């Protein structure tokens, strides 16, 4: 993550009237550095040593603010906890069915699918989401070592 990305995010928060508390700054910095699409609990556990008085609710509140301003996207998959992604540009995800790891998968946006869906159903399509599932390299290697 570049300092410029962090500064741009802070500027966006400030221009939206959001105060930059040390905890808010830390949550934002953690998210910008994360490539794992962390849960709120992951963020809390990573920062609790630095901010012993911070609660999980504080993390959730900050994530809600970031989401409302458009700094993060909340990803929900099945019954598992929401995960948060600082990459707000159009992209897809590939998810490991063994360990749950989520990796960004860049592919040209499938806008024609939205257009076709509108034509066939008469819906006004706002967006779409695609997930690809499989097994990550680490889980594959682990499985091969057991055999």
> What CATH number does residue 73 fall under?
1.10.10.10
The predicted pLDDT at position 133 comes to 94
For residue 65 the two structure tokens come to 């603010």
Percentage of the chain modeled with pLDDT above 70: 97
Half-sphere exposure (Cβ direction) of 24: Cα atoms closer than 13 Å: 15
Residues 8, 67 within the same domain: yes
| Dist CA 94 CA 53 (whole Å) | 35
Which residues, listed in sequence order, are joined to residue 95 by a DSSP beta bridge?
Answer: 102, 133
- The pTM of the full predicted model, rounded to 2 decimals, is 0.80
Residues 54, 112 within the same domain: no
Give pLDDT tens digits for 93-124.
Answer: 999 999 888 999 888 888 899 999 999 999 99
What is the tally of structural domains in the chain?
2
The predicted pLDDT at position 1 comes to 53
| Dist CA 82 CA 11 (whole Å) | 26
Per the model's pLDDT, the better-predicted residue between 145 and 146 turns out to be: 145
Per the model's pLDDT, the better-predicted residue between 118 and 6 turns out to be: 118
What does the mean pLDDT of the chain come to? Answer: 91
What domain range includes position 72?
A: 3-85
Residues 107, 80 within the same domain: no
| Dist CA 141 CA 95 (whole Å) | 16
- Helix (H) / strand (E) containing 6: helix 3-15
Residues 67, 133 within the same domain: no
Q: In this structure, what CATH number is given to the domain that contains residue 98?
A: 3.30.1490.190
**Sequence-distant (≥ 6) Cβ neighbours of residue 47 within 8 angstroms:** 23, 26, 27, 30, 54, 59
Burial level of 4, CB count in 10 A (0-12/13-18/19+)?
A: exposed
> Taking 80 as the threshold, does the pLDDT of residue 22 lie above it?
yes
Residues 19, 54 within the same domain: yes
Q: How confident is the model at residue 89 (pLDDT cuts 50, 70, 90)?
A: confident
| Dist CA 121 CA 55 (whole Å) | 45
Dihedrals phi, psi of 33, to nearest 5 degrees: -90, -15
């Amino acid at each position: 993550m570049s300092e410029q990305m962090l500064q741009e995010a802070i500027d966006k928060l400030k221009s939206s009237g959001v105060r930059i508390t040390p905890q808010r700054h830390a949550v934002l910095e953690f998210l910008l550095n994360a490539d794992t699409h962390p849960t709120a609990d992951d963020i809390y556990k990573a920062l609790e040593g630095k901010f012993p008085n911070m609660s999980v609710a504080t993390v959730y509140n900050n994530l809600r603010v970031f989401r409302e301003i458009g700094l993060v996207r909340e990803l929900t998959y099945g019954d598992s906890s929401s995960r948060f992604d600082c990459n707000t540009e159009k992209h897809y995800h590939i998810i490991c069915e063994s360990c749950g790891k989520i990796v960004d998968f860049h592919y040209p946006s499938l806008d024609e699918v939205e257009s076709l869906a509108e034509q066939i159903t008469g819906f006004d399509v706002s967006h779409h989401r695609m997930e690809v599932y499989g097994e990550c390299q680490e889980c594959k290697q682990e499985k091969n070592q057991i055999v």
